[in-house]
Structure 1
Amino acid sequence: MRFGLALPSMAPPRRLVDLAVTAERSGWDGVFVDDHIQMPAATALEPHDPWVLLGAIAQTTGRIRLGAMVTPLSRRRPQKFAKEVVTLDHLSGGRVITGVGLGNLPEEEFAAFGDAASLKERAERTDEALDVVSALWSGERVRHQGAHFTVDAVMRPVPVQRPRPPIWIACGWPNARPLARARRWDGVVAIDRQRGFMEPEEVRRVVEALGPAAPGFDVVAIWSPGRAAEEYAKAGATWLLRALPPADDWLAALEAAAAESPE
């Protein structure tokens, strides 16, 4: 099982880059930055752009996997997203993991900018955009005429990773529909939206609900405080992510976590 550290895009950018460097030195396997445009006003949290942050992290690290966890793809232009991921994959030497979800802030990140806020349309746009992005990464001509996107293009360069960077799909457990989406790709990020983490017993149920998976398929869980990593491994998790909720000592706690070996 591999270990990842979730970094908040709301923190000062230079400290986030330093955190990633520290995490790599301490033996963490991945660092992942959330992808938000704005947060609810009551939180007073101010997010930075994850792709600029990840570009800086790619240049200051050499081993650790990295990516946005997760990108609400339905509010993105698939060709722009595809190009960003390819560029980051080249900058990092093939270390990108692509996290995709529907988004959980429909008012702040969709309706506020005139994008479709309904869950149904976000799901439709996400599925179509994933097909477009994956096809563009092939380097072959893509001719696509769908309900939301039209493409007739060849996009190059292709990613370093072939046939593509891994695509992980976020699943707000116990919602079963994202599991069906995840089966088409390379992994699932299981999240309890109320608590923000998963218990090992819940991860086991996710694995059972997924059924037989393709070789290399990842089951990613958010670490529950106080639970042993071995419990998650036995439940079927392949990645365990440590995420800390916003608090007065948020950055200090993250820096302490990054400085310690995850195992």
Structure 2
Amino acid sequence: MFYGIYTPNFGAETTPSLLAELAAEAEEAGWDGFFIWDHIVYSRKQLLPLYDPWVTLAGIAMRTERLRFGTTVTPIARRRPWKLARETVTLNHLSRGRLTLGVGLGDPDEDDYGTFGEPIDRKVRAAMLDEGLEILDGLWSGKPFGYKGDYYQMKKCAFLPAPIQTPRIPIWVGGIWPHKRPFRRAARWDGALPINSGGPYTPPPDTLREIRAYIAQHRQSEAPFDLVIMGTTPGDDPKAARKKMAGYAGTGLTWWLETLYRWRNSIEAMRRRVRQGPPRLDM
């Protein structure tokens, strides 16, 4: 199993420099990944400083050597897929192949979409997400690719360079269980991330087994597949942390993302939890 840090890229003092420092400390402390959010406006009511995830991830890439990193999740419906293709491949090469792209519909609807006159209908955004994923996959191939969909059209062209990883940059798909369509979508890609509307969600082990079984019914590839969840463990009580993780044995879980919120923790408390290291069962 792999262990990562999951934290928003907005809020008081949560600057790109701080997140890059936290990522470097996470790597030193034995964590395997570092993942941030992707919003344009998280809340119109709360005037929170918010930083672009892709520029922030570039800083993280430059401060680390082995740490896997990415967004959880990027709403493709409010991005131009061809620009996202360029951004992700650039980060992929900058980090020598360490980027993972988390994708989903995005939330909150009115704040992150409606503010700018973009579609808030989730069915429309789901269709845009599927089209966007097809375009990303096609442009990442490095071969001539054209597309004509209901929401996106592009003339045939080739994007070089291709990503370092093959067959592509790993894609994790977020979805709210027990809705089934997001997990059928996830089965076509490289991982599933059960989330909740308005914030992270830690499914209990039995629910995770249900999710894994459902994905297995719809997955047509034998390639490795990640099952990713978020949650918290007590860094100052390793025995209790390992006990919590032991409950997920046999569920198919491959990534545990330790959730750190600036609005619930001081910067020093966040640093302390990072430095305490992951709740590995083999420790």
TM-score of the aligned structures, taking structure 1 as reference length: 0.94
Gaps of 5+ in 1: none
Matched with 2:132 is 129
Matched with 2:252 is 236
Q: Write the distance in 1 (CA, Å) between the matches of 2:209 and 2:254.
A: 12
Matched with 1:219 is 227
Deviations 1:142-183 (CA, angstroms, capped at 9, x unpaired): 121111111221111111111211000001122111001101
Correspondences of 1:39-54 after superposition (within 5 Å): 39-54=42-57
Correspondences of 1:66-215 after superposition (within 5 Å): 66-151=69-154, 152-193=156-197, 196-198=200-202, 199-212=204-217, 213=219, 214-215=222-223
Bigger shift: residues 127-136 or 44-53? 44-53
**Amino acid of the structure 1 residue aligned with 2:164:** V
Q: Judging changes above 3 Å, is the alpha-carbon distance between structure 1 residues 48 and 206 closer, same or farther for their aligned structure 2 residues?
A: same
| Structure 1 position 248, deviation (Å) | 4.9
| Structure 1 position 250, deviation (Å) | 4.2
| Structure 1 position 139, deviation (Å) | 0.6
| Structure 1 position 111, deviation (Å) | 1.3
**Amino acid of the structure 2 residue aligned with 1:84:** E
Q: Write the distance in 2 (CA, Å) between the matches of 1:246 and 1:261.
A: 18
Correspondences of 1:238-257 after superposition (within 5 Å): 238-257=254-273
Q: Write the distance in 1 (CA, Å) between the matches of 2:44 and 2:184.
A: 34
Q: Write the distance in 1 (CA, Å) between the matches of 2:37 and 2:175.
A: 15
CA contact (8 A) 2:107 2:198 kept: no
Q: Write the distance in 2 (CA, Å) between the matches of 1:233 and 1:194.
A: 28
CA contact (8 A) 2:27 2:64 kept: yes
| Percent of residue pairs bearing the same amino acid type | 38
| Structure 1 position 20, deviation (Å) | 0.1
Gaps of 5+ in 2: 234-240
Q: Write the distance in 2 (CA, Å) between the matches of 1:224 and 1:205.
A: 22
**Amino acid of the structure 2 residue aligned with 1:236:** G
Deviations 1:90-129 (CA, angstroms, capped at 9, x unpaired): 0000001010000011111111112111101000000001
Partner of residue 259 from structure 1, selected from 267, 270, 275:
275
Q: Judging changes above 3 Å, is the alpha-carbon distance between structure 1 residues 107 and 192 closer, same or farther for their aligned structure 2 residues?
A: closer
Q: Write the distance in 1 (CA, Å) between the matches of 2:247 and 2:184.
A: 25
| Structure 1 position 257, deviation (Å) | 1.7
| Structure 1 position 46, deviation (Å) | 2.4
**Amino acid of the structure 2 residue aligned with 1:217:** F
**Amino acid of the structure 2 residue aligned with 1:56:** G
Q: Judging changes above 3 Å, is the alpha-carbon distance between structure 1 residues 195 and 234 closer, same or farther for their aligned structure 2 residues?
A: farther
**Amino acid of the structure 1 residue aligned with 2:6:** A
Corresponding residue SS for 1:41: coil
TM-score of the aligned structures, taking structure 2 as reference length: 0.88
Q: Write the distance in 2 (CA, Å) between the matches of 1:86 and 1:138.
A: 11
CA contact (8 A) 2:4 2:31 kept: yes
